[in-house]
Amino acid sequence: MKNQLKYKRILLKLSGESLSGSQEFGIDPKILNFFACEIKKVHGLGVQVGIVIGGGNIYRGLNANDQGIDRVTGDQMGMLATIINSLALQNACENQGMFTRLMTAINMEAIAEPYIRRRAIRHLEKGRVVIFGAGTGHPYFSTDTAASLRAVEIEADAILKGTRVDGVFDSDPEKNPNAFRFEEISYLDVLKKNLRVMDLTAISLCKENNLPIIIFNMDKPDNLLKLVTGQNIGTSVRNYSEDNKH
């Protein structure tokens, strides 16, 4: 089965909001367990899995100003929120029998390893699911940018961004039933059309390093499995020439 894998090392990006399920905030144990089960399916095939998860279900640094909190402090609070989610996902994955490591961009040795690139790659090679917490460790950078950075550093084959919709659309599919889904689109078109796939820094980093991004619906069972085995799921964002557009 390993020979049938399209992606052998992935960086899975999950939003913090996805963990809250139907709740307004917090962590829904059912969603957490579902994600762990989906990760186990691909991990069981031998896929090396790195994960970055946001913290928006607990705290969003972008809203800090409205609360009288300066941006840097708000972003630091957001980084700590990602650690809570990362610990929860780590526990859920271990309950499914996977070996894991949580590595953080901010030193907190009592609960996680500091992020060291070579060590992270070694963990992946040994079959451990590696969760990267605390974003980049710096304010003003989103967890999308952290995912792009970590994916480039660990030489992932692709970033798989799990969302609650089936890919990239020309308008909001939850508001417009006739929204058009792109099967593939270039980084430049994402920027030109202002499609909110990832932020500008994240897209630029992927473009410069020719790292594909696949946007897909993580809420549908087996979608992650279908992706890594080469099925046409979601939207692929990558470089392509004019000759390949049609």
Domains of the chain: 2-244 (3.40.1160.10)
Indicate the DSSP class of residue 196.
Answer: -
Say how far apart CA 147 and CA 151 lie, in whole Å: 6
Whole-number pLDDT of residue 62: 60
Nearest residue to 128 (alpha-carbon basis) of 26, 49, 64, 217: 49
Whole-number pLDDT of residue 64: 67
Q: What is the pLDDT of residues 169-201, one digit of tens each?
A: 888 888 888 888 899 999 999 988 888 889 999
Strands 181-182 and 168-169: antiparallel
pLDDT, averaged per 10 consecutive residues of the chain (246 residues), comes to 82 94 89 97 97 92 74 93 97 98 96 97 98 96 96 98 90 85 91 86 94 96 96 90 41
Q: Where are the alpha helices (DSSP H) in 18-142?
A: 29-43, 71-95, 117-125
**Contact in structure between 244 and 18 (CB atoms under 8 Å):** no
Say how far apart CA 238 and CA 204 lie, in whole Å: 11
Whole-number pLDDT of residue 63: 67
Whole-number pLDDT of residue 2: 54
Q: What is the pLDDT of residues 38-72, one digit of tens each?
A: 999 999 999 999 999 999 999 876 666 677 889 89
**Contact in structure between 197 and 144 (CB atoms under 8 Å):** no
Whole-number pLDDT of residue 196: 81
Whole-number pLDDT of residue 72: 92
